[in-house]
């Protein structure tokens, strides 16, 4: 076969293999876009575990009519313009691939209205060349992304979808993770026409406790110790369970770096080490931790799904996390600052 450039839809479908694993990955990408657009209210409607329909409506900044087809194009983003921007990234997105990927393996429509426009417009991409057609629509300020029949044109992937219940459980989990990181945003989750979650905006301590309880359970909340450390431009905030905590809520293991949910080996290691030394081998850590790091000090462009990071000064970050948690787990020392304990 001679060398040839792949048609756009095929190239996008191949890229989709990396980011669109299942309905929950679509939900994650779309909610992250809504958050990057400054939304304070996000409605998520799911039909049949997301395989049939995913519709996400936000009250974010919206997209200009002239930019709608660009939003669906590959490598098109409003979030970075240079490598410098990428190295100081604070938005959740930057690859400009999610909408192109998702629309290549589903029937995706994007309806949007920025505040500056009187009317809304709707974009739909189809065919091998992914040509975008536009038509006027009715929509309040903000955007709605609707994804129908995920993987309808990629049967090999569709075959890997699990039961409706399982796929929905993954979606529910994605939303819990995001809702934990954004107390300032309201989330409504509807499955097959029924509202199953409603996380209201949490402004004060009481409301924050309510959301934390709704997501992590009363058991976790009643035993969790608050942690809040700042040192040398690093910060760690959140909750870890106290040494005498029972093991039964060990699924509560959430860790964020600059607002992004992470599964990071280095962080896990620091947490485990602190726990092992302070509460013994047999207990499983339970925690919700938000790490803040100068964005210049982390590389988020490690994996297409963006759930891994690389720290420039990994030893420093490791020790910082270890010390922060160790101090929270050691009774009587929780009031000391990091410096005082050294
Ligand atoms: P990325 O998020 O990496 O920029 P995406 O493919 O997810 O790439 O989105 C492409 C672009 O479309 C974004 O950069 C943004 O400008 C726009 N966009 C996507 N979703 C929304 C939304 N809900 N509200 C406003 N703009 C959006
Ligand atoms: Mg995105």
For a pLDDT cut of 90, what percent of the chain falls above it?
75
| Ligand 2 midpoint to CA 40 (Å) | 17
Pocket flag, ligand 1, residue 94 (CB < 6 Å) = yes
Pocket flag, ligand 1, residue 26 (CB < 6 Å) = no
Pocket flag, ligand 1, residue 86 (CB < 6 Å) = no
pLDDT at 282: 64
Closest CA to 293 of 230, 235, 229, 239: 235
Pocket flag, ligand 1, residue 60 (CB < 6 Å) = yes
Tell me the C-alpha distance between 326 and 276, whole Å: 10
At which residue do the structure tokens 């929950």 appear? 24
Contact (Cβ atoms closer than 8 angstroms) between residue 323 and residue 239: no
The mean per-residue pLDDT over the stretch 187-201 comes to 98
Contact (Cβ atoms closer than 8 angstroms) between residue 253 and residue 287: yes
pLDDT at 334: 47
Q: Whose CA is nearest to atom 21 of ligand 1?
A: 33
Of residues 279 and 223, the one with the higher pLDDT is: 223
What's the pTM value of the predicted model, to 2 decimals?
0.93
Q: Which atom number of ligand 1 is nearest to the Cα of residue 102?
A: 6
Collapsed DSSP state (helix, strand, coil) of residue 126: strand
Contact (Cβ atoms closer than 8 angstroms) between residue 50 and residue 35: no
Most confident of 180-189, 253-262, 274-283, 321-330: 180-189
| Ligand 1 midpoint to CA 90 (Å) | 14
Pocket flag, ligand 1, residue 259 (CB < 6 Å) = no
Closest CA to 58 of 137, 111, 4: 111
Residue 337 has pLDDT above 60, yes or no: no
Closest CA to 13 of 158, 122, 230: 158
Interval 244-303: pLDDT, tens = 655 555 578 999 999 999 888 899 999 988 888 876 666 678 899 999 999 999 998 888
Residue 329 has pLDDT above 50, yes or no: yes
Interval 99-141: pLDDT, tens = 999 999 999 999 999 999 999 999 999 888 899 999 999 999 9
pLDDT at 249: 53
Contact (Cβ atoms closer than 8 angstroms) between residue 34 and residue 56: yes
Q: Which atom number of ligand 1 is nearest to the Cα of residue 80?
A: 4
| Ligand 1 midpoint to CA 92 (Å) | 10
Q: Which atom number of ligand 1 is nearest to the Cα of residue 58?
A: 23
């Amino acid at each position: 076969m001679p060398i040839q450039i792949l048609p756009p839809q095929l190239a996008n479908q191949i890229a989709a293999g990396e980011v669109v694993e299942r309905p929950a990955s679509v939900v994650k990408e779309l909610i992250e876009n809504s958050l990057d657009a400054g939304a304070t209210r996000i409605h998520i409607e799911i039909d049949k575990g997301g395989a049939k329909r995913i519709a996400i409506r936000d009250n974010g900044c919206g997209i200009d009519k002239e930019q709608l087809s660009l939003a669906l194009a590959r490598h098109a983003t409003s979030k970075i313009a240079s490598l410098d921007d990428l190295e100081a990234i604070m938005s959740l997105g930057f690859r400009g691939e999610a909408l192109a990927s998702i629309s290549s393996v589903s029937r995706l429509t994007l309806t949007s209205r920025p505040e500056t426009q009187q009317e809304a417009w709707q974009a739909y991409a189809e065919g091998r060349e992914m040509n975008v057609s536009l038509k006027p629509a009715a929509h309040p300020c903000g955007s709605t992304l609707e994804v129908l029949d995920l993987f309808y044109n990629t049967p090999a992937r569709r075959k890997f979808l699990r039961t409706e219940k399982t796929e929905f459980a993954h979606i529910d989990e994605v939303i819990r993770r995001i809702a934990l990181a954004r107390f300032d945003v309201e989330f409504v989750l509807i499955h097959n026409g029924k509202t199953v979650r409603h996380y209201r905006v949490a402004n004060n301590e009481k409301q924050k406790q309510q959301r934390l309880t709704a997501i992590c359970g009363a058991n976790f909340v009643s035993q969790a110790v608050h942690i809040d450390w700042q040192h040398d431009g690093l910060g760690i905030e959140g909750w870890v369970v106290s040494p005498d905590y029972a093991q039964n809520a060990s699924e509560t293991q959430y860790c964020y770096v600059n607002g992004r949910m992470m599964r990071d080996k280095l962080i896990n290691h620091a947490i485990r080490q602190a726990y092992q030394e302070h509460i013994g081998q047999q207990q499983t850590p339970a925690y919700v931790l938000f790490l803040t790091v100068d964005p210049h000090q982390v590389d988020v462009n490690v994996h297409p799904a963006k759930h891994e990071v690389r720290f420039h000064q990994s030893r420093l970050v490791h020790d910082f996390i270890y010390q922060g948690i160790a101090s929270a787990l050691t009774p009587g020392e929780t009031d000391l600052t990091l410096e005082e304990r050294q």
